[in-house]
A and B are shown apart, each in its own frame.
Chain A
């Protein structure tokens, strides 16, 4: 049994990272040339890690399932990236970012990691600007900021609603530079299907070339998993269709513990589901909540009339609207954290005030009309226009809103055929980000020596909830500024090892297990498609392991998932062959992993008898529907050790120690 050692450095919180860096071992440049590192995944975390490790002098082999690293799902992040620059002079600081992130995570993250994240956040912005990332600027030529949910300062840097795209392209350009130099060997359209452990250390991977089906062996002195989150376990989520848990799950099955699988972020502002042909959900950036006001009709009959298509939101008078977030949470209003906003939307819809046209009535309004008029008036003042009509002011205001959120509004209109400048957007919560993941210590190393997990793939920095604009921050912090130091300390032992051979029994065994599974899928002449099982799993997950959970539902879910899994292995059918591109085969492997993870996810939720952040147990809530945490019994990360079936997994606890921040009830009232 592996013991958990978080390896948090000694000393005061503000000095831990500096002291740590001063005392780790280094690898000299000549020795770096004889060390290989594999990076799986090329989003913000993997891409920045690959570029930086290559620049330091290591030989990097990077893998992605997409046709180019530029398409990793980080590209879809919209709103922004946090950094404690305090350019606005509104009271921001490293400590405040640290504090907000720990509080935002509902006191379920590791203090030392979060402080380090806040410390390096300012470097990230400098780095990206130097790379030519075109962040928004004000008229003086300096960087602009906006605010995001859960905080009261403007610390979010952005590039319209395409921040993730611009950051990823910055990181991809840094990778491209190293690829051009030959320091990164890039394997596009490749999927990692197993990790190879030799003498207890991660020493390589088995990958499948998705174009010709060849199974390849790749060795290295260390393996970095940067494959993102597992939100697609719900089938419908805001994740890219190919996002999967497989890389993280494979290392879990080879000995890396998996932490807090039940911590999932439900994002409050997604476009509601249109019907049963839906394949995925689309997020509308949280930044919209800066200017958009969220409401539902105050009268049930109005909500009913809207659902029946007999009334439009424009028919509802101001006094008949319930701006429920502003009403319930006056100091944060529409900018409460995501879990709070999501549950409040669900509460209103469950109570019959939803405005969706579908059978469930699931939607609330996100309304820009007051922002449009406010900005329009401001523009008119700036331009010296007097006596403008309401429609002229509205036109000026629409222009300002278009400059801030144009692409988001366009995206909304393409999907729904409604014009959000004129009619309020309809939104509803959806699965977005997974805070759980492979357990790592302070060095970002898993419980398999030499195997690291970074970005969304690990569990480290967000606790039970993730604040907006903090995922991009963690991805780049891990890849650019944390892993390149910590991995060196480990690799210092490998300067004399030499190349790792791939013709060993460990590689043979891993390759055989991969091939056996592929053969099984292609030869199992079942009667149901992979998606059939994935959709069924998703329904169970959403209905019983989703935004609100209870003991009864979770127990049912565990049994149902097990049933679906058993049926999957009997009845799944995968057409095609192994020697050419076969997307169904790729999906089959991924869904097989989701079917195991899903059960562990539900078990984790059942075991955690409290409500915290994105994890909401109905049994543990106040009468007003606020979450009730249990610090006495659950101030820990739940860390699962693989033992075969998910029901056999063994629970370990990493106690979370708060020395710098007092545990308080999270209140945004």
Chain B
């Protein structure tokens, strides 16, 4: 591992007491941050410092710190999850910064993701989109057919897997000028559209999920591609094309 180096940094952090409060940027200094530390470890150090000064620490979402739970959600220097491709904030390491840097840290900004406190936003709109159809309607009784009786072409299985790796972090929404959730929703629609098990209710699924997505206040897609660029899991825009195709086909052929 690279030699440790202590960074001195200026942090501009968004502080907001609750959803009703107006919120503002606050400036903090941190010193002697190891370049081997993760960005969230740097935030821990800031918080320990604030507690020692009798102030309230900065609230931020985080949990697994392995890049997979999708909790961490900071906007760093104007980018979702900060600089670097295909990473979450917990995978961002301080070696990406230089001594003396000023770093701007803000919450996700989208109408459908209201701020709860400081850097924490409410992403439950994603759960409601999922509840509208992000599943295959099969009983969980275990009385299903043998798993190998549904052979799936490797290429399809791999593509379905790639879509299924979405962690629901919301970086796509935060990066989109329209705050669109199309990348997230299309990843789930694609996963099931590519698998034989998902075919039976495919039409209903895409129509229901898109309907709730719109109702939740997410914007539309204008093919700018910022979502794909900022996605920590490299979910492809192809999925949006697939969802549009599925949606169009469902609209012209279904009874609804």
Chain A residues at the B interface, C-beta cutoff of 8 Å: 48, 51-52, 55, 66-71, 73, 75-76, 85, 87, 120, 123-132, 134-143, 159-160, 162, 165-166, 169, 172-174, 176-177, 179-180, 186, 188, 211, 238, 240-242, 274-275, 277-280, 282-283, 357, 407, 410-411, 414-418, 426, 480-481, 529, 531, 573, 575-576, 580-584
CA A188 – CA B125 in complex, angstroms?
12
Docked-complex contact B145 and A130, CB < 8 angstroms: yes
CA A360 – CA B68 in complex, angstroms?
29
Docked-complex contact B57 and A583, CB < 8 angstroms: yes
Docked-complex contact A165 and B68, CB < 8 angstroms: yes
CA A87 – CA B146 in complex, angstroms?
11
Docked-complex contact A67 and B123, CB < 8 angstroms: yes
The listed residue (A134, A188, A414) touching B164 by CB distance below 8 A is A134
Dominant secondary structure of chain B at its interface with chain A: loop
In chain B, positions 50-82 with a C-beta closer than 8 Å to chain A are 50-52, 54-57, 59, 61-71
Docked-complex contact A580 and B4, CB < 8 angstroms: no
Distance from A222 Cβ to chain B, minimum over Cβ atoms (Å)? 18
Docked-complex contact B1 and A418, CB < 8 angstroms: yes
Question: Which single residue of chain B is at the shortest CB-CB distance from A579?
Answer: B18
Contact of B111 with A by CB under 8 A: no
CA A69 – CA B63 in complex, angstroms?
13
Docked-complex contact B161 and A166, CB < 8 angstroms: yes
Question: Which single residue of chain B is at the shortest CB-CB distance from A584?
Answer: B57
Chain B residues at the A interface, C-beta cutoff of 8 Å: 1-2, 4, 17-18, 33-34, 36-38, 40-41, 44-45, 48, 50-52, 54-57, 59, 61-71, 86-87, 91, 93, 95, 116-117, 120, 122-124, 126-127, 130-142, 144-148, 150-154, 157-158, 160-161, 164-165, 167-168, 191-192, 195, 197-198
B residues less than 8 Å from A417 (CB atoms): 1-2, 93, 95
Using known A-B contacts A127-B142, A137-B157, determine if residue A132 contacts B192 with beta carbons closer than 8 Å: yes
Docked-complex contact B63 and A242, CB < 8 angstroms: yes
Docked-complex contact A126 and B146, CB < 8 angstroms: yes
Docked-complex contact B142 and A134, CB < 8 angstroms: no
CA A420 – CA B67 in complex, angstroms?
18
Question: Which single residue of chain A is at the shortest CB-CB distance from B151?
Answer: A141
CA A659 – CA B225 in complex, angstroms?
63
A residues less than 8 Å from B40 (CB atoms): 279
Question: Which single residue of chain A is at the shortest CB-CB distance from B153?
Answer: A141
Distance from A391 Cβ to chain B, minimum over Cβ atoms (Å)? 26
Given A136-B157, A580-B17: 12 more A-B contacts, CB < 8 Å: A55-B140, A73-B64, A76-B68, A126-B142, A126-B146, A127-B144, A129-B144, A131-B197, A177-B135, A241-B65, A414-B91, A580-B117
A residues less than 8 Å from B154 (CB atoms): 137-139, 141
Distance from B25 Cβ to chain A, minimum over Cβ atoms (Å)? 19
Docked-complex contact A126 and B52, CB < 8 angstroms: no
CA A357 – CA B4 in complex, angstroms?
11
Using known A-B contacts A126-B142, A160-B161, A529-B52, determine if residue A279 contacts B61 with beta carbons closer than 8 Å: no
The listed residue (B1, B68, B70) touching A162 by CB distance below 8 A is B68
Docked-complex contact A177 and B137, CB < 8 angstroms: yes
CA A140 – CA B62 in complex, angstroms?
40
A residues less than 8 Å from B66 (CB atoms): 76, 238, 282-283, 411
CA A141 – CA B64 in complex, angstroms?
33
Question: Which single residue of chain B is at the shortest CB-CB distance from A49?
Answer: B140
Using known A-B contacts A137-B152, A240-B65, determine if residue A277 contacts B165 with beta carbons closer than 8 Å: no
Docked-complex contact B140 and A174, CB < 8 angstroms: yes
Max chain B C-beta neighbours (<10 A), residue from A126, A140, A143, A211: A126
Docked-complex contact B71 and A71, CB < 8 angstroms: yes
A residues less than 8 Å from B59 (CB atoms): 581-583
Question: Which single residue of chain A is at the shortest CB-CB distance from B196?
Answer: A132
CA A275 – CA B37 in complex, angstroms?
8
CA A426 – CA B36 in complex, angstroms?
15
Distance from A61 Cβ to chain B, minimum over Cβ atoms (Å)? 16
> Can you list 7 A-B contacts with CB-CB less than 8 angstroms, sorted by A residue number?
A70-B130, A130-B197, A134-B157, A137-B152, A141-B157, A279-B41, A417-B2
A residues less than 8 Å from B45 (CB atoms): 277
B residues less than 8 Å from A129 (CB atoms): 144, 147, 150, 197
Docked-complex contact A131 and B138, CB < 8 angstroms: yes
Docked-complex contact B161 and A179, CB < 8 angstroms: no
CA A141 – CA B135 in complex, angstroms?
22
B residues less than 8 Å from A70 (CB atoms): 70, 127, 130, 168
Docked-complex contact B165 and A165, CB < 8 angstroms: yes
Using known A-B contacts A176-B127, A414-B67, A584-B57, determine if residue A211 contacts B144 with beta carbons closer than 8 Å: no
CA A159 – CA B34 in complex, angstroms?
34
Distance from B160 Cβ to chain A, minimum over Cβ atoms (Å)? 4
CA A505 – CA B122 in complex, angstroms?
35
B residues less than 8 Å from A159 (CB atoms): 161, 164
Distance from A243 Cβ to chain B, minimum over Cβ atoms (Å)? 8
CA A69 – CA B70 in complex, angstroms?
11
Distance from A59 Cβ to chain B, minimum over Cβ atoms (Å)? 17
B residues less than 8 Å from A576 (CB atoms): 56-57
Distance from A179 Cβ to chain B, minimum over Cβ atoms (Å)? 5
CA A131 – CA B198 in complex, angstroms?
8
CA A238 – CA B69 in complex, angstroms?
13
Docked-complex contact A277 and B131, CB < 8 angstroms: no
B residues less than 8 Å from A139 (CB atoms): 154
A residues less than 8 Å from B38 (CB atoms): 279, 415
Docked-complex contact B36 and A275, CB < 8 angstroms: yes
Docked-complex contact B71 and A66, CB < 8 angstroms: yes
Question: Which single residue of chain B is at the shortest CB-CB distance from A477?
Answer: B142
Distance from B41 Cβ to chain A, minimum over Cβ atoms (Å)? 5
Using known A-B contacts A531-B44, A575-B55, determine if residue A134 contacts B93 with beta carbons closer than 8 Å: no
The listed residue (B127, B133, B165) touching A68 by CB distance below 8 A is B127
CA A166 – CA B167 in complex, angstroms?
10
CA A319 – CA B49 in complex, angstroms?
51
B residues less than 8 Å from A418 (CB atoms): 1
Using known A-B contacts A131-B138, A241-B62, determine if residue A180 contacts B131 with beta carbons closer than 8 Å: yes
CA A426 – CA B33 in complex, angstroms?
23
Distance from B232 Cβ to chain A, minimum over Cβ atoms (Å)? 10
Distance from A79 Cβ to chain B, minimum over Cβ atoms (Å)? 13
Distance from B193 Cβ to chain A, minimum over Cβ atoms (Å)? 10
Docked-complex contact A174 and B135, CB < 8 angstroms: yes
Docked-complex contact A67 and B44, CB < 8 angstroms: no
B residues less than 8 Å from A583 (CB atoms): 57, 59
A residues less than 8 Å from B41 (CB atoms): 277-279
Using known A-B contacts A55-B139, A73-B69, A173-B136, determine if residue A179 contacts B86 with beta carbons closer than 8 Å: no
Docked-complex contact B127 and A52, CB < 8 angstroms: no
Distance from B143 Cβ to chain A, minimum over Cβ atoms (Å)? 8
Using known A-B contacts A415-B93, A576-B56, determine if residue A134 contacts B195 with beta carbons closer than 8 Å: yes
Docked-complex contact A126 and B144, CB < 8 angstroms: yes
Distance from B240 Cβ to chain A, minimum over Cβ atoms (Å)? 19
CA A211 – CA B158 in complex, angstroms?
39
Using known A-B contacts A73-B69, A174-B140, determine if residue A411 contacts B91 with beta carbons closer than 8 Å: yes
